[in-house]
């Protein structure tokens, strides 16, 4: 029997529609801060590279061009403290969400297997497990895993910096999961898409650690994968430009399956990615823009009486009320001001007392959001 799509939960953002209508009805209109969609221009270098590669009559290779793979390897060496990633340890993906949803299936997971993900987590980790027929299990450390899962966990998702909470995992915390997974025959995949956007120390100065860092995984890449995207750091969400990196053996198997599926990144996008990875100045400029907007929104949230928690990195502010009221009440309270935010319940029961506000709005819109918050 085929997969029963009716068994999937409702797409979370569909549940926000009544609050969106409420916010739209405000005299000054809707300010939508519920989704982290970049609004600033894609850097010129990416646009030009895309155009120059537009004459692309042939099929691209699933594994990506040599230029792209070498650019990704150089990115890890220069910016992620990973000097020994081989080109065979890189695989481009068509955005990051599709690989989150597909990875359990690509690894051959099915009924009886378990996929562990953070207790407060991007919903697609859960959905990917369900699509494969596996069981999603929320847990933040191996000690939280039920004893009846012994031998069943085949994949562990880490997410640092976290979406939605902005928490950053330390080298030690990540290493605990890697050691556990290797002892229990599981793969560890770390979603690191917000790594270029660290705000608090020591991460802002020293960088966010990757699972591919030797301090985390030792001398071997066995059983570890890192997921990264250019959507955030380069305003390239529309390009669907991402990759997996890590264990060459795992990536070889995954690439073989993706060849059968026709999952090939368009050649012009690959050229744009090469340009993006060579354009660190635009990444730094965008980071300063988000830092400025973050200060403005954080000030408004604080003056409105909310408490920001986590939010050490990433594109969001994760906040709650002093009495930790239910997230849907917070959503309703802010919708009455024309502000739409995401309820923490979208990210698991552990997030029910929080809400998430995105930094992805223009300076003018962010200033208006602050003004409405201060008037609360």
Q: Domain residue spans in the chain?
A: 5-41+281-374, 44-279
DSSP collapsed to 3 states, 254-267: HHHHHHHHCCCCCH
Average pLDDT, stretch 292-312? 97
- Identify the band that residue 7 occupies on the pLDDT scale cut at 50, 70 and 90: low
Q: Which two tokens stand for residue 18?
A: 């009544």
Burial of 255 (0-12, 13-18, 19+ CB in 10 A): buried
- Identify the band that residue 12 occupies on the pLDDT scale cut at 50, 70 and 90: confident
Q: What angle do CA 214, 95, 189 make, to 5 degrees?
A: 30
Rounded to the nearest 10°, the torsion over CA 172, 149, 162, 328 is -140
Q: What is the pLDDT of residues 251-290, one digit of tens each?
A: 999 999 999 999 999 999 999 999 999 999 999 999 999 9
**Cα distances (Å, whole numbers) of residue 311 to 294, 305, 360:** 10, 17, 15
Sign of the alpha-carbon dihedral angle for 286, 38, 234, 320: positive
Predicted model pTM: 0.93
Q: Please, are residues 128 and 98 in contact by the beta-carbon 8 Å criterion? A: no
Average pLDDT, stretch 182-202? 96
Specify whether domain 5-41+281-374 bears CATH 1.10.150.530: no
DSSP assignments along 169-202, one per residue: --HHHHHHHHHHHHHTT-EEEEE-TTTT-B-STT
The pLDDT value recorded for residue 376 is 66
Q: Which CATH class is domain 44-279?
A: alpha beta
User: How long a stretch of residues is the chain?
Assistant: 376
36 C-beta neighbours (distance < 10 Å), count: 21
Q: What is the pLDDT of residues 89-130, one digit of tens each?
A: 999 999 999 999 999 999 999 999 999 999 999 999 999 999
Q: Please, are residues 248 and 86 in contact by the beta-carbon 8 Å criterion? A: yes
Share of the chain above pLDDT 90, in %: 93
Mean pLDDT over each residue of the chain, to the nearest integer: 95
The pLDDT value recorded for residue 230 is 96
Statement: residue 1 has pLDDT above 60: no
The pLDDT value recorded for residue 3 is 58
Q: Which two tokens stand for residue 245?
A: 């990196």
Q: Which of 147-151, 301-305, 357-361 is predicted least confidently? A: 147-151
Which residue, among 139, 119, 137, has the nearest Cα to 128 in the 3D structure? 137
Identify the H or E element spanning 245. Answer: strand 241-246
Q: What is the DSSP letter of 238?
A: G
Identify the H or E element spanning 229. Answer: strand 224-229
Rounded to the nearest 10°, the torsion over CA 312, 318, 324, 326 is -160
The pLDDT value recorded for residue 4 is 61
Statement: residue 303 has pLDDT above 60: yes
Q: What is the pLDDT of residues 41-69, one digit of tens each?
A: 999 999 999 999 999 999 999 999 999 99
Neighbour order of strands in the sheet with 153-159: 90-94, 241-246, 224-229, 187-191, 153-159, 114-117, 135-138
d(CA 159, CA 21): 32
Statement: residue 314 has pLDDT above 70: yes
Average pLDDT, stretch 297-320? 97
Q: What is the pLDDT of residues 222-244, one digit of tens each?
A: 999 999 999 999 999 999 999 99
């Amino acid at each position: 029997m085929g997969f029963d799509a009716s068994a999937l939960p409702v797409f979370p953002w569909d549940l926000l529609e009544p609050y969106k209508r409420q916010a739209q009805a405000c005299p000054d209109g809707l300010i939508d801060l519920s989704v982290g969609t970049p609004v600033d221009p894609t850097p010129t270098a990416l646009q030009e590279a895309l155009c120059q590669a537009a004459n692309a009559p042939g099929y691209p290779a699933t594994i990506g061009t040599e230029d792209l793979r070498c650019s990704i390897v150089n990115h890890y060496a220069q910016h992620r403290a990973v000097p020994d990633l081989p080109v065979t340890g890189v695989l481009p993906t068509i955005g990051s969400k599709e690989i989150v949803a597909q990875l359990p299936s690509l690894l051959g997971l099915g009924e009886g297997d378990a996929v562990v993900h953070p207790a407060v987590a991007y919903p697609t980790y859960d959905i990917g497990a369900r699509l494969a027929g596996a069981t999603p299990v929320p847990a933040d450390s191996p000690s939280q895993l039920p004893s009846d899962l012994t031998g069943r966990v085949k994949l562990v998702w880490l997410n640092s910096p976290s979406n939605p909470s902005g928490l950053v995992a330390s080298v030690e915390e990540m290493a605990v999961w890697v050691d556990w997974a290797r002892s229990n025959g599981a793969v560890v995949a770390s979603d690191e898409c917000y790594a270029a956007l660290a705000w608090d120390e020591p991460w802002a100065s020293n960088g966010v650690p990757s699972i591919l860092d030797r301090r985390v995984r030792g001398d071997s890449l066995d059983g570890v994968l890192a997921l990264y995207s250019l959507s955030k750091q380069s305003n390239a969400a529309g390009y669907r430009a991402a990759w997996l990196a890590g264990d060459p053996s795992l990536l070889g198997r995954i690439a073989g399956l993706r060849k059968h599926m026709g999952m090939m990144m368009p050649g012009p996008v690959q050229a744009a990615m090469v340009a993006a990875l060579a354009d660190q100045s635009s990444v730094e400029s965008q980071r300063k823009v988000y830092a400025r907007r973050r200060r403005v929104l954080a000030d408004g949230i604080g003056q409105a009486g909310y408490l920001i928690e986590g939010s050490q990195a990433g594109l969001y502010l994760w906040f709650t009320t002093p009495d930790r009221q239910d997230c849907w009440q917070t959503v309703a309270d802010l919708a009455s001001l024309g502000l739409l935010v995401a309820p923490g319940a979208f990210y698991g029961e552990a997030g029910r007392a929080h809400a998430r506000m995105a930094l992805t709005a223009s300076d003018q819109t962010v200033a208006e959001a602050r003004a409405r918050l201060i008037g609360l």
